[in-house]
Amino acid sequence: MTGDVASAEQPAVELDAVSRTYTRGEPVYALDDVSLTLARGSYTAVMGPSGSGKSTLLNLVGCLDTPTAGTVSVAGEDVTALSAGQRARVRGQEVGFVFQTFNLMPRLTAEENAALPLVFQGAARAERTERARDLLDRVGLGDRTDHRPSELSGGQRQRVAIARALVTDPAIVLADEPTGNVDTETGERIMALLDDLHAAGNTILLVTHQRSIADRAERIVRLRDGEIEGIDAVDPTGAA
Partner 1 sequence: MDAAESLRLAVRSIRGHKLRAALTALGIVIGIAAVITFVTLGASVKAEVVGQFDDSPANRVFLVATPSDDGGPPAALSQPVFTEHDVSRIGEIEGVDRVVPRGTIATSALTHGGETVARDQVTATTPALFESVTFREGDAFADAGSGAACPAEMVVTPSAAALFPGNLSVGDQVSITQRGNRTRNVTVVGVLGDDAGLNPLAGFGSQPRFYLPTCAYDTVVTSPTTGTRQNVFPQVTVVAANPGDTAAVQDRVQDYLEAESDATQLAPGSYEVSARTNEDIVERIENVVDRLTQFVTGIAVISLLVGAIGIANIMLVSVRERTKEIGIMKAVGATNRDVLQLFLVEALLLGVGGALLGVPIGVAGGWVAVTYAELPLTLPLVWVGAAIGIGLVVGVVSGLYPAWSAARVDPIDALRYE
Residues that bind partner 1 (CB under 8 A): 59, 62, 64-65, 84-85, 88-89, 91-93, 97, 99, 103-108, 116-117, 119-122, 164, 168
Question: For partner 1, which is the closer residue by CB, 29 or 39?
Answer: 29
Question: For partner 1, which is the closer residue by CB, 42 or 55?
Answer: 55
- Return the amino acid letter for 20: R
Please, what is the minimum distance in Å from the beta carbon of residue 214 to partner 1?
A: 22
Question: For partner 1, which is the closer residue by CB, 22 or 37?
Answer: 22
- Return the amino acid letter for 8: A
Please, what is the minimum distance in Å from the beta carbon of residue 9 to partner 1?
A: 26
Cβ of 41: how many Cβ atoms within 10 Å? 15
Please, what is the minimum distance in Å from the beta carbon of residue 77 to partner 1?
A: 15
Per-residue CA distances from 187 to 158, 179, 194, 233 (Å): 10, 5, 11, 23
Please, what is the minimum distance in Å from the beta carbon of residue 224 to partner 1?
A: 22
Please, what is the minimum distance in Å from the beta carbon of residue 1 to partner 1?
A: 17
Please name the residue ranges forming H helices in the chain.
4-9, 54-61, 84-94, 110-120, 125-138, 154-166, 184-199, 211-214
What is the spatial distance between Cα 178 and Cα 164, in angstroms, rounded to a whole number? 14
Per-residue CA distances from 27 to 22, 23, 31 (Å): 6, 4, 12
Question: For partner 1, which is the closer residue by CB, 87 or 144?
Answer: 87
What is the spatial distance between Cα 145 and Cα 129, in angstroms, rounded to a whole number? 10
Question: For partner 1, which is the closer residue by CB, 172 or 220?
Answer: 172
